[in-house]
A and B are shown apart, each in its own frame.
Chain A
């Protein structure tokens, strides 16, 4: 039976090539857009280089002080003081890595300017993450305590600063009039990974601004790493208990510094606020956008399908006259439609591969390696089926109500 339907479907598709082209164009194009964006978002959100253990991590990157009476809000990253005095007392996390954000400085080589984003980190940073060292190794606890002027640089920094030199470990890199000895070169991280992106990594003790301030705000962030995913709730509750004991500063009655997983962090940034992570809101808004985006090609497809089906009214009339039930006919047309959308889906996957390849190669975000993995492909397949059903049900229903006599009379 299915084989028959399949044969009919192919024959019908080949008969009206123009309509088939329009349908395939709409389906494959819509899927390409949806799958490409899913692949890009998936790359940003799911565990990838260098923090493969992202599911076991909680990030604290932002602190907000609020005076709820006057409406004053003061918000920034964390201070080193807060991290050392409070966060480092936590017992549950296996590792506590901290790092600074968004410091950039210019370096001048052969009268050419290179802008480098540098990150101060502790030694645990290198244990919490799995950077790929192309050369050398990270700095140790000892080197941090001695405030040695050593640096780990990214592959791109190596290329722009040292040119084609084969080995650079042991050479010096100058930043703000200070010479740092290069002790390691790592594979680059894309800028989209804000927590771990850097052009050059330095021991936090060499910072010129000695970070002696006793305030809570500064430009550091913390990653708490549990032994396994199961540690997250315990880590969170211990962190919250600790946070509630942090003395409130004068003039401010509320203090927020959330320990969020990677996904929550993103949704809180985009759609949430200090009281809620906005996860539900993000899901609702995103699905709304996807639905709206799919609406136009779907209506178009429904239109085309109806045209196609009505054209075959004589065939339907004959089959009905010979006793085919409406249900059988509806099945047949749904299957035809799903075959069509799956064909479009395959084209969509091919186009998505091309689009992602172009995006990776474009140098738009260096070191970014988006890819179509199993998750993305299955989401694409799911969307394809929804798409096929959405655009197939209404025409099939319209067809099934066709009056036999009327259908036969037309011809």
Chain B
């Protein structure tokens, strides 16, 4: 059967080469779009790891000209207690500028047992960060107030980094070094992954370090968790209070919910545009395939009539035509998969291999469905050919 089909196809190789290249290019387009979609979908399914509702970020600029650590620490200690005293505010946390959904990131790296760990998200936070974000500990504990005073090298890592470094082994109590394996830090806890880049990006490996008093010189964000009755009136009075507490500073307040929406929109909008364009291209291709198959079958009326005359059933004629197109599509898909499989093999965009493999399967499936849909109607038409009429025309 297949040898026979192959012979038929080979005889018309010139006509088929265009059909083949069309399917090949469509496959590559579908593959790239579906890789993107699969990647985002897999990330989207993972939990956010914290609660962003009712969390506000207050930006301020530091107007104090002093670089004296104690003065700064005292000053911002007062700001903290002013804020905590408000009944609408549940938690106050000073943090570096790379808090969740902010347009800022900071990375670091270190060596552990001879293995280099690079591009690890590096967060500088204080003792209330986990409570402000309602994040959960997987293991060990979060920082407490004494950790900041004691200048000890304590760090908290996130679940992804723990998984990368220790697998299923416990991480708490392990010592890790910084860039040149000096200044060992002790892991005190493992926190659940916090997806800081929006719903469609993975949390990635991350480590948290306690802010010390010297940091107040350059940090400029306070995260606050507010109660349910904190409304715009409160926000307005909070803004005035902040302007009074930190004179000569530019104050800005944003809600994490809004930041999250704009982060997500940054991801979704290009995807929607690309998918719409790809969708139209595919409609275009489908119509083209349909037209070509339809025409080809009309050209082969004589051949089909003859087959019917010597006893082939209508359904077997139809299925022959569909199988022929599927066989052609398979040839293209083999070539296309060869290109597609290079992405995980050469690790082109640093995405997990699973993404490409799922995308590959989806696009193969998609192409087959497309080809079947486009050849079903011409196939049925061929099946309806009456042998006597077809042979008479001949």
Given A104, A105, A296, A311, which contacts B285 in the complex, CB threshold below 8 Å? Answer: A296
In A119-177, the 8 Å CB interface with B consists of 176-177
Query: B138 at interface (Cβ–Cβ under 8 A)?
Result: no
Distance (Å) between the CB of A151 and the closest chain B CB? 15
Residue-wise, chain A 15-33 has the 8 Å CB interface mask toward B (1 for contact) of: 0001101100110010001
Query: 8 Å CB contacts to B: which residues of A1-39?
Result: 18-19, 21-22, 25-26, 29, 33
- Bound complex: CA of A21 vs CA of B253, how far in Å? 55
- The answer to whether B18 touches A105 (Cβ under 8 A) is no
- Name the distance in Å between B275's Cβ and chain A's nearest Cβ: 13
The residues of B that contact A103 with a CB separation of less than 8 Å are 250
Tell me if A29 and B250 are in contact (CB < 8 A). no
Q: What separation, in Å, do the CA atoms of A307 and B243 have in the docked complex?
A: 74
Q: How close is B60's CB to chain A, nearest CB, in angstroms?
A: 10
Q: Is B281 an interface residue (CB 8 A)?
A: yes
B284 at interface by CB-CB < 8 Å = yes
CA distance A209 to B250 in the complex (A): 8
A307 pairs with B292, CB closer than 8 A? yes
Question: Is the pair B250, A303 in contact by a Cβ cutoff of 8 Å?
Answer: no
Counting from the closest, the 4 A-B pairs by CB-CB distance are A108-B236, A300-B288, A177-B243, A22-B287
* Contact sample, A vs B, 26 pairs, CB 8 Å cutoff: A18-B291, A26-B288, A29-B280, A104-B252, A105-B250, A106-B235, A106-B239, A106-B251, A108-B236, A111-B232, A113-B232, A113-B236, A176-B250, A177-B243, A177-B244, A208-B63, A209-B63, A293-B277, A296-B281, A296-B285, A299-B18, A303-B19, A303-B22, A303-B288, A303-B292, A304-B288
B16-57 contacts to A (CB < 8 Å): 18-19, 21-22, 25-26, 29
Instruction: Given A106-B239, A111-B236, A176-B250, check contact A300 B22 (CB 8 Å).
Output: yes
Given contacts A303-B19, A303-B292, A304-B288, contact A295 B25 (CB under 8 A): yes
Say yes or no: is B249 at the interface (Cβ < 8 Å to chain A).
yes
Tell me if B295 and A307 are in contact (CB < 8 A): yes
Enumerate chain A residues within 8 angstroms of B285, measured Cβ to Cβ: 296, 300
B186-207 contacts to A, CB under 8 A, are none
Q: Give the interface size bracket for B toward A.
A: 35 or more
0/1 string, A298-322, CB within 8 A of B gives 1: 0111111011000100000000000
Check A311 against B281 for contact (C-beta < 8 Å). no
Fill in one digit per residue for B69-108: 1 if any A CB lies within 8 Å of its CB, else 0.
0000000000000000000000000000000000000000
Interface centre among B61, B243, B285 (most CB of A within 10 A): B285
Q: With A106-B239, A111-B236, A208-B250 in contact, do A311 and B284 touch (Cβ < 8 Å)?
A: no
| Nearest opposing residue in chain A for B22, CB measure | A299
Q: Which of B139-197 contact A (CB under 8 A)?
A: none
Is B13 located at the chain interface by the 8 A CB criterion? Answer: no
CB neighbors of A among B221-244 (8 A): 231-233, 235-236, 239-240, 243-244
Q: Is the pair B235, A108 in contact by a Cβ cutoff of 8 Å?
A: yes
Neighbouring B residues of A306 by C-beta, 8 Å: 15, 18
List residues of chain A with CB under 8 Å of any chain B CB. 18-19, 21-22, 25-26, 29, 33, 103-106, 108, 111-113, 115, 176-177, 208-209, 293, 295-297, 299-304, 306-307, 311
User: Are B287 and A299 neighbours in the complex by a CB distance under 8 Å?
Assistant: no
Known: A33-B277, A304-B292. 13 other contacts (CB 8 A): A26-B284, A33-B280, A103-B250, A108-B232, A108-B236, A113-B236, A115-B252, A115-B254, A208-B63, A296-B26, A299-B25, A300-B285, A306-B18
**Is A296 within 8 A of B22, CB to CB?**
yes
Are A177's CB and B240's CB within 8 A? yes
Min CB–CB distance B283 → chain A (angstroms): 8
Task: Report chain B residues within 8 Å CB of A304.
Answer: 288, 291-292
Task: Please give, as numbers and ranges, the residues of chain B lying within 8 Å of A104 by CB-CB distance.
Answer: 252
Contact A22 B233 (CB under 8 A): no
Q: How far is the CB of A290 from chain B (nearest CB, A)?
A: 12
Q: How far is the CA of A304 from the CA of B22 in the complex (A)?
A: 12
* Contact between chains at B22 and A297 (CB < 8 Å): no
Q: Is B353 an interface position by the 8 A CB rule?
A: no
A374 to B206, CA, bound (A): 52
Most chain A CB neighbours (cut-off 10 Å) among B249, B250, B283: B250
Rounded to whole Å, the gap between the CB of B193 and the closest CB of chain A is 29
- Distance to closest chain B CB from A28 (angstroms): 10
Residues of B within 8 A of A300 (CB): 22, 284-285, 288
